């Protein structure tokens, strides 16, 4: 294949993905019953046909011609875009994508007959037009809607740059930047020399009274030298500033060159998931979101295998059969989503489905069988859901009961966790509401450099990635409280009061005897965040925030979940790069063992916080009234607008709640649903609940009490003394 032919195919590869992506987005909107631009869809198919003709791909041209006919039938013949029609069109789009992808490995791939038949089945196709060479006049196309006649945009120019060259350029730019950083020392030396020259001139002026022509000439020469030195110092400062600004710009531009849209690496996975679902006989809508986001090519390539595994898992484990979906009131067509977004300086990738969701009982059984959990009797509550869901990332963990070509080979999700850790990121599994499961991978955008907060603790330097740092704190030691042997601080964040544990950073790294460092009566701390969880680590010193190269680190005895790499700041000792998510997870895992570790603060007050009550009501008037009554009695009050909001707050665990006062009639999740969810969650079942409602029907009262409500108060006879007396009894 000639270089020119390769360049044409490379350009077509980018263009055809753009057209296919736009058509798929329109089909997704049609599947949801939303309005979409049919004229744009037709124009995309027409442009795809013309581009295929230009690069002499008659198979793609023929498929695009059939797509034109289908969309013409939709607009003119009333063809309905129901689920079957959308599935047939998707098969045609997958056929185009698969055929183009196969061009790189075979000179003449086989035509996608299934895709051709699927499109033929939608409309009665005319005889295929004769293929025309680029020099011949184009055959007459199907009539195109008038809205397509738009001004042609500027031609897109493509520049092919070898990956090795881009990576070498980025390395050279970073070396230049580091070299320029050393000029700060040269500038300081020049300033010192300038100051010394000024002092020498003052000394000479004291001796000038001796007179003489020679002394006058020396004085004039010294003055010229002083002026020249001052000019040189100013010029050097200006040059250094200009060079640093240019290097920063060059660094940004070189970094952008190495970024590619996620579509270029992960775009084909949607087609793969649809093919797997078709092979399994399942009607599935595969939605791709955010694939225009740009990230480091090496990061995306590293993520491709685990994402492929997650999509296979979603098809194999996640989908439930149509009869089961109908019984549960779900839509007939299942849905699998691959979504990317930028969040807090991280690339966040989610693979979700609306199927059965995680089977916690099955996960626990497999964990006990593999020795990851001890066996328990019927009287012992099950482990928290969060702990069970984390076990699926253990090596070899799989809940598949049979081996097939999609799953059950003992690989499990450990490959996902390993890749996330190698990229200095995290992976977590969680259930979706109301159905399904979701795996989220969060990694830095770049595999080479990260913005790091440099700190010092216990005589060692550390780097904390900025995406996990919520706040830097300097607070009086007397502001720390002690709750059940653990130092904590109260802090307001996102409009809520949050209690966060505080400990010396070395405690989380394996030194439980390290006390919280206090300097001048104050504690320096870093508030770390992982999801909705927070933890404050106390350090000896807070340095600066720098963007630094991070190298992999593999040492015996070093936990890769806590230490993700090493960096070498200019003019400083190497610093271990820590995982904020790993540190918070370490606290959650070992909270019982760590409680009391490092508590050598004699000044820490022992005052017990007031009881915290969560008021749940969709009426702002009722919430305000109950809040004022309870706060007047010294209680801390949290507010939620409905049961689902309250359940999310309680499961987040940021603030311990001692009692819940909930209305019954609320949108999304009512009081009965909230009560049932609390009593079936072992972590929340002990929280007492008071139901308040205008529904005084005896059957409703019995239902609330049967579900586990501690009291049922009707609003018709609401008396604040009754409410306070009931709370007093239950607390």
Under the banding of pLDDT at 50, 70 and 90, the label for residue 615 is: very high
What's the average model confidence in pLDDT over 11-33? 83
- Rounded to whole angstroms, the Cα distance separating 397 from 429 reads 14
Residue 398, helix vs strand vs coil: coil
Whether residue 617 has pLDDT greater than 60: yes
Q: Is the pTM of this model over 0.85?
A: no
Report which of 597, 559, 602 is spatially closest to residue 579, judged by C-alpha positions. Answer: 559
| Phi and psi, residue 427, nearest 5° | -135, 140
- Rounded to whole angstroms, the Cα distance separating 278 from 331 reads 17
Residue with tokens 């230490």: 563
Task: Tell me whether strands 437-444 and 346-353 are parallel, antiparallel or unpaired.
Answer: antiparallel
Under the banding of pLDDT at 50, 70 and 90, the label for residue 413 is: confident
The DSSP code for 264 is H
Report which of 458, 488, 452 is spatially closest to residue 473, judged by C-alpha positions. Answer: 488
Q: Mean pLDDT: which of 135-139, 443-447, 555-559 is highest?
A: 443-447
Q: Mean pLDDT: which of 138-142, 538-542, 649-653 is highest?
A: 538-542
Bridge partners (DSSP) of residue 224 are none
Token pair in block for residue 478: 């007397």
Per-residue pLDDT tens for 476-492?
Answer: 888 888 776 678 888 77
| Phi and psi, residue 577, nearest 5° | -95, 120
Give the per-residue pLDDT at 696.
Answer: 64
Give the per-residue pLDDT at 320.
Answer: 80
What's the average model confidence in pLDDT over 440-455? 82
Q: Per mean pLDDT, which range of 120-124, 242-246, 292-296, 382-386 is the poorest?
A: 242-246
- Rounded to whole angstroms, the Cα distance separating 52 from 585 reads 52
| Residue burial 438-450, b: 16+ Cβ < 10 Å; e: rest | bbbbbbbbbbbbb
- Rounded to whole angstroms, the Cα distance separating 202 from 604 reads 57
Whether residue 143 has pLDDT greater than 70: no
Mean pLDDT of the chain: 77
Per-residue pLDDT tens for 497-530?
Answer: 777 888 899 988 888 778 889 888 889 999 988 7
Per-residue pLDDT tens for 592-613?
Answer: 455 444 444 433 334 445 788 9
What's the average model confidence in pLDDT over 641-660? 86
Per-residue pLDDT tens for 277-288?
Answer: 888 777 788 888
> Is 535 in contact with 500 (CB distance < 8 Å)?
yes
Give the per-residue pLDDT at 496.
Answer: 67
Alpha helix ranges (H) inside 258-373: 262-266, 268-279, 297-313, 322-328, 360-369
- Rounded to whole angstroms, the Cα distance separating 543 from 658 reads 40
Whether residue 136 has pLDDT greater than 60: no
Burial class (CB in 10 A: 0-12, 13-18, 19+), 135: exposed
Give the per-residue pLDDT at 37.
Answer: 85
| Residue burial 567-605, b: 16+ Cβ < 10 Å; e: rest | bebeeeeebbbbbbbbbbbbbbeeeeebbebbbebeebe
Burial class (CB in 10 A: 0-12, 13-18, 19+), 254: middle
> Is 338 in contact with 288 (CB distance < 8 Å)?
yes
Whether residue 132 has pLDDT greater than 50: no
Residue 338 vs residues 23, 271, 291, 440: alpha-carbon distances, Å: 17, 12, 9, 10
- Rounded to whole angstroms, the Cα distance separating 433 from 437 reads 8
Whether residue 131 has pLDDT greater than 80: no
Under the banding of pLDDT at 50, 70 and 90, the label for residue 622 is: confident
Name the E strands within 466-562. Answer: 469-476, 481-483, 486-493, 496-504, 522-530, 533-539, 541-549
Neighbours of 103 (CB within 10 A): 17
Q: How crowded is the C-beta side of 196, counted as CA atoms within 13 Å?
A: 6
Per-residue pLDDT tens for 239-251?
Answer: 676 676 667 667 6
- State the distance between the two ends of the chain, measured CA to CA, in whole angstroms: 80
Q: Which residues contact 330 (CB under 8 A, 6 or more apart)?
A: 320, 354, 435
Per-residue pLDDT tens for 350-392?
Answer: 999 988 888 888 888 888 888 888 888 877 777 777 778 888 8
Give the per-residue pLDDT at 505.
Answer: 92
Whether residue 129 has pLDDT greater than 50: no
Give the per-residue pLDDT at 384.
Answer: 76
Query: Rounded to 10 degrees, what is the CA torsion of 266, 267, 270, 276?
Result: -70
Give the per-residue pLDDT at 181.
Answer: 60
> Is 590 in contact with 566 (CB distance < 8 Å)?
no
| Residue burial 606-645, b: 16+ Cβ < 10 Å; e: rest | eeeeebbbbbbbbeeeebeebbebbeeeebbbbbbbbbbb
Give the per-residue pLDDT at 185.
Answer: 56
Token pair in block for residue 342: 């930028």
Per-residue pLDDT tens for 678-713?
Answer: 888 888 888 899 988 776 677 777 788 778 888 888
Per-residue pLDDT tens for 664-682?
Answer: 888 888 888 898 888 888 8
Q: Mean pLDDT: which of 238-247, 338-347, 445-454 is highest?
A: 338-347
- Rounded to whole angstroms, the Cα distance separating 547 from 466 reads 10
Q: Which residues contact 39 (CB under 8 A, 6 or more apart)?
A: 145, 147, 148
**Sign of the torsion formed by the C-alpha atoms of 155, 104, 17 and 309:** negative
- Tell me how long the chain is: 731
- Rounded to whole angstroms, the Cα distance separating 102 from 82 reads 30
> Is 177 in contact with 247 (CB distance < 8 Å)?
yes
Per-residue pLDDT tens for 300-315?
Answer: 888 888 898 888 888 8
Give the per-residue pLDDT at 598.
Answer: 43
Per-residue pLDDT tens for 255-279?
Answer: 666 677 888 888 888 888 888 888 8
Percentage of the chain modeled with pLDDT above 90: 5
Percentage of the chain modeled with pLDDT above 70: 74
Give the per-residue pLDDT at 659.
Answer: 92
């Amino acid at each position: 294949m000639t270089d020119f032919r390769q360049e044409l195919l490379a350009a077509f590869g980018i263009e055809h993905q753009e057209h296919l992506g736009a058509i798929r987005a329109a089909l997704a909107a049609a599947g949801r019953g939303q309005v979409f631009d049919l004229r744009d869809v037709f124009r995309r198919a027409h442009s795809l046909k013309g581009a295929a003709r230009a690069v002499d791909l008659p198979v793609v041209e023929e498929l695009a011609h059939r797509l034109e006919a289908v969309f013409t039938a939709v607009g003119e013949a009333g063809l309905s875009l129901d689920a079957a029609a959308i599935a047939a069109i998707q098969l045609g789009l997958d056929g185009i994508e698969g055929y183009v992808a196969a061009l790189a490995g075979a000179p003449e791939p086989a035509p996608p007959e299934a895709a051709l038949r699927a499109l033929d089945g939608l409309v009665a196709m005319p005889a295929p037009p004769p293929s025309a060479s680029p020099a011949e006049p184009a055959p007459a196309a199907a009539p195109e809607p008038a809205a397509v006649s738009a001004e042609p945009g500027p031609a897109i120019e493509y520049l092919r740059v070898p990956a090795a060259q881009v990576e070498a350029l980025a390395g050279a730019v970073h070396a230049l930047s580091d070299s320029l950083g050393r000029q700060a020392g040269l500038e300081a030396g020049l300033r010192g020399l300038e100051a010394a020259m000024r002092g020498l001139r003052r000394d000479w002026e004291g001796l000038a009274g001796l007179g003489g022509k020679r002394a006058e000439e020396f004085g004039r020469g010294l003055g010229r030298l002083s002026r020249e030195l001052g000019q040189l110092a100013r010029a050097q400062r200006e040059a250094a500033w200009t060079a640093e600004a240019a290097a920063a710009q060059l660094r940004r531009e070189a970094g952008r060159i190495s970024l590619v849209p996620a579509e270029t690496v992960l775009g084909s996975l949607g087609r793969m998931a649809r093919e797997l679902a078709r092979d399994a006989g399942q009607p599935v809508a595969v939605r791709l979101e955010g694939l225009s986001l740009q990230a480091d090519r090496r990061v995306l390539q590293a993520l491709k295998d685990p994402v492929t595994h997650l999509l296979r898992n979603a098809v194999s484990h996640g989908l439930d059969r149509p009869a089961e979906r109908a019984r549960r009131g779900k839509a007939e067509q299942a849905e699998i989503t691959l979504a990317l977004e930028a969040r807090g300086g991280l690339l966040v990738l989610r693979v979700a489905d609306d199927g059965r969701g995680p089977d916690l009982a099955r996960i626990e059984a497999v964990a006990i069988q593999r020795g990851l959990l001890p066996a328990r009797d019927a009287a012992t509550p099950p482990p928290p859901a969060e702990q069970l869901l984390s076990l699926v990332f253990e090596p070899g963990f799989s809940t598949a009961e049979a081996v097939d070509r999609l799953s059950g080979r003992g690989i499990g999700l450990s490959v996902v966790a390993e890749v996330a850790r190698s990229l200095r990121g995290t992976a977590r599994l969680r259930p979706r509401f109301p159905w399904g499961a979701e795996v989220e991978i969060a990694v830095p955008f770049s595999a080479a450099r990260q913005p790091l907060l440099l700190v010092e603790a216990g005589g060692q330097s550390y780097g904390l990635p900025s995406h996990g740092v919520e706040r830097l704190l300097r607070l009086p030691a007397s502001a720390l409280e002690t709750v059940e042997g653990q130092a904590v601080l109260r802090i307001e964040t996102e409009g809520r009061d949050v209690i966060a544990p505080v400990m010396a950073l070395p405690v989380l790294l394996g030194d439980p005897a390290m006390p919280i460092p206090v300097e001048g009566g104050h504690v320096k701390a870093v508030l770390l965040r992982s999801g909705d969880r927070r933890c404050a680590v106390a350090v000896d010193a807070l340095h600066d925030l720098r963007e630094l190269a991070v190298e992999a680190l593999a040492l015996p005895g070093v936990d890769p979940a806590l230490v993700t790499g090493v960096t070498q700041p200019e003019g400083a000792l190497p610093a271990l790069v820590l995982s904020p998510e790993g540190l918070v997870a370490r606290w959650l895992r070992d909270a019982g063992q760590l409680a009391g570790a490092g508590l050598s603060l004699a000044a820490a007050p022992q005052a017990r916080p007031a009881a915290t009550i969560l008021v749940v009501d969709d009426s702002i008037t009722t919430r305000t009234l109950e809040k004022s009554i309870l706060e007047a009695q010294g209680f801390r009050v949290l507010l939620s607008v409905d049961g689902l909001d309250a359940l999310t707050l309680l499961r987040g665990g940021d603030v311990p709640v001692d009692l819940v006062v909930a209305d019954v009639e609320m949108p999304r999740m009512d009081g009965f649903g909230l009560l049932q969810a609390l009593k079936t969650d072992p972590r929340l079942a002990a929280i007492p609940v008071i139901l308040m409602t205008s529904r005084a029907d005896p059957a409703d009262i019995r239902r609330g009490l049967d579900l586990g409500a501690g009291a049922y108060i009707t609003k018709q006879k609401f008396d604040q003394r009754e409410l306070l007396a009931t709370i007093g009894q239950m607390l």
